Amino acid sequence: MGPSNGLTRFTVWVSVLTVTVLFGWGAWQRRWIADDGLIVLRTVRNLLAGNGPVFNKGERVEANTSTLWTYLTYLGGWAGGGMRLEYVALTLSLVLSLVGVALAILGTARLYAPLLAGRAAVMVPAGMLVYIAIPPARDFATSGLENGLVLAYLGGLWLMMVKWAQAVRTPVTLDRRGGPHQPVDPRIVHAQRDQRDVLSRRFTVGLAFLAGLSVLIRPELALIGGGFLVMMLVAARGFMSRIWIVVAGGALPVLYQIFRMGYYGLLVPSTAIAKDASGSKWGQGFVYLQNMNSPYLIWIPAVLLIALGVAAYQARRGQWWVRQVAAPGYGWLARLVQNPTAVVVFMLVSGFVQGVYWIRQGGDFMHARVLLTPVFCMLLPISVVPLAAPDSAAFTPKKARLLTAATIGLFAGIAGWSVWVANSPGMAGDGTKVTYSGIVDERRFYAQATGVAHPLTAADYLNYPRMRAVLVAIDNTPDGALLLPSGNYDQWDVAPAIPPPPPIPHGYRGPHAVLFTNLGMLGMNLGLDVRIVDQIGLANPLAAHTARITDGRIGHDKNLFPDWMIADGPWLKRYPYIPRYIDQDWVAEAVEALKCPQTDAMLSAVRKPLSPRLFVSNMLHSYEFTTYRIDRVPRFELARCGLPMPKLDTPSYTGLPATGP
């Protein structure tokens, strides 16, 4: 039930149009594809090539946090034919971002419609104006990451939640004596007689299905989707209604979880292992919060929005002739959860909990990115606010004028802040530097590092240090090699591949692997036959299972030594074939450490050819593999696993001789 007054409906659609145009224009001015967005596209390339949802062919690692975003991009790439995957991701990100803010406004307009009871009101996009003004919101409206999908999901869920909450209540017009002047919605009377839900089963199933998708969009969104499914179960009437909700909301997530456990051998995406999503870094989290608040003074619109909400509520307080009547036959608990106030409180609390989760986690290395979702959630109930003239029966003319002036002034303050912050330099000079906080303005960082104002394609990232050099290094090592980043931005260090036994076939080309942090730009500029690994564990199962470094850079706080990469592959492992900064004794110790039964089982789970037997085994051991950790120092790992030390070429240090130096 949307606004019934013509002016109100008109201003709702004006708000939708204004916000989407401003947001779309602002996002396009800051368009880009992040390196992490290119990581997703490497997986999509493997899907399109028939290698499965993996980052490296032959190694089942789930390198992307958002399952649904990966497969949505895959479908877009498949449907787009020869269209570049970067443009597919860019289009999907931007369109979904705009859809998200539009649905948010429509959902909130529907929320306020019964309270207006047909009165004329001007709907102003207060909350959404605040959101789109924040520069990182426009940065990540493209970026190739799942932020746009998150906005569309939350906006759509919010709209359907409001409809669900209003379904068992209807506005009833009362006369001056408080008697009913308007009958109750006949759907409610009919539903009471049949003892069934007011909403159709199709709507209920669709809403439950949408809520269940939360965990496939981002794991932490399960707090929102799962929480709302509980509300639906509490409010449902009858056993079969609850069965439908459970099946619709849980079937796809459960099926995918079974697939994840059997295919990847883990309970969560590999990114959650790499970043230890269950760990805590409260201090870094508050640094991240301050990093977002300082450039934009987020507390100012927060205060103004609260005041505007109170003023708007006061203006409609005099509507004594409108009451919300709940459907008969619903228990007190069902009426408690299935009402507009409950969904508003639920969304506000959900946003707050999401924010606390990310602060506990330590935030992220990308400026403001992970706090955008909590902000969006808490802005949903005030994404638009009705500005209506105070009821003359409840307010004196003077009070009415003061209230109207205050309301207009508050919205003007919000609009003024939005204009100021939309043109803010953000992190300013620190945005392109990795300082003690580890947080950067990722878009500006890559624009500066590549010399491209809008880095959109993998080719744009060839200007990034070492990128062109890696193509040259691979061409110069046809017999195969592991490439290690050197201190020189124009070259790579090489550990040659072990040559095959003679006779060497004509045209033989050996295996290649590259060790580097920036997986996305490498993954999209190199062939799928090149194995790309990182030291922080996003695509490297060995690095992912190391312990988190307490004071490491957030999001990069694992660091597996390159000695392990040489040990874990078909590379020559001794001097003079390996760089001198690599300790060949460490390599020898790492080779032995990889024989640890638990480590071997964990790696075999993702590297052996998948069979039904291995799938079941992975499922049974997925918890064990998820919680398994190794020591990144090979000698300590040998001790942890109870393995003997290998025979080393370098004599053990026994101290200075008795006669001195």
Three-state DSSP at 339 gives: coil
Q: How far is the CA of 550 from the CAs of 536, 555, 556, 629, 640, in angstroms?
A: 14, 12, 11, 15, 20
If DSSP codes are grouped into helix, strand and coil, which group holds residue 169? strand
Q: What is the pLDDT of residue 330?
A: 67
Quote the percentage of the chain above a pLDDT of 70.
Answer: 90
Would you state the pLDDT for residue 309? 81
Contact 521, 527 (CB under 8 A): no
Beta carbons of 571 and 511 less than 8 angstroms apart: no
- Tell me how far apart the alpha carbons of residues 95 and 102 are, in angstroms, rounded to a whole number: 11
How far apart are alpha carbons 467 and 521 in whole angstroms? 8
Model confidence band, residue 552 (pLDDT cutoffs 50, 70, 90)? confident
Query: What is the DSSP secondary-structure string of 605-627?
Result: HHHSPP-HHHHHHHHHHHHHHHH
Q: Give whole-number Cα distances, 429 to 33, 160, 295, 572, in Å.
A: 21, 43, 12, 44
Beta bridge partners of 497: 571
437 vs 542, more confident: 542
pLDDT digits (tens, 9 = 90+) for 164-181: 998 876 554 444 444 444
The DSSP bridge pattern shows strands 481-485 and 512-515 to be parallel
For residue 236, is pLDDT > 80?
yes
Tokens 């787009």 sit on residue: 80
Asked whether residue 3 carries a pLDDT value surpassing 90, the answer given is: no
Whether omega for the bond prior to residue 503 falls within 30 degrees of 0, making it cis, is yes
Mean of the per-residue pLDDT values for the chain?
Answer: 89
**pLDDT tens column, 324-373:** 555 556 677 888 899 999 999 999 999 999 999 999 999 999 999 999 99
Dig out the tokens for 444 from the structure: 């500006």
> Where do the structural domains in the chain lie, given as residue ranges?
6-423, 454-592
The phi and psi torsions of 365 (rounded to 5 degrees) equal -90, -10
Name which of 119, 162, 110 is nearest 321 in CA terms.
119
pLDDT for the residue 183:
46
The per-residue pLDDT for 193 is 43
Least confident residue range of 144-158, 276-290, 305-319, 403-417: 305-319
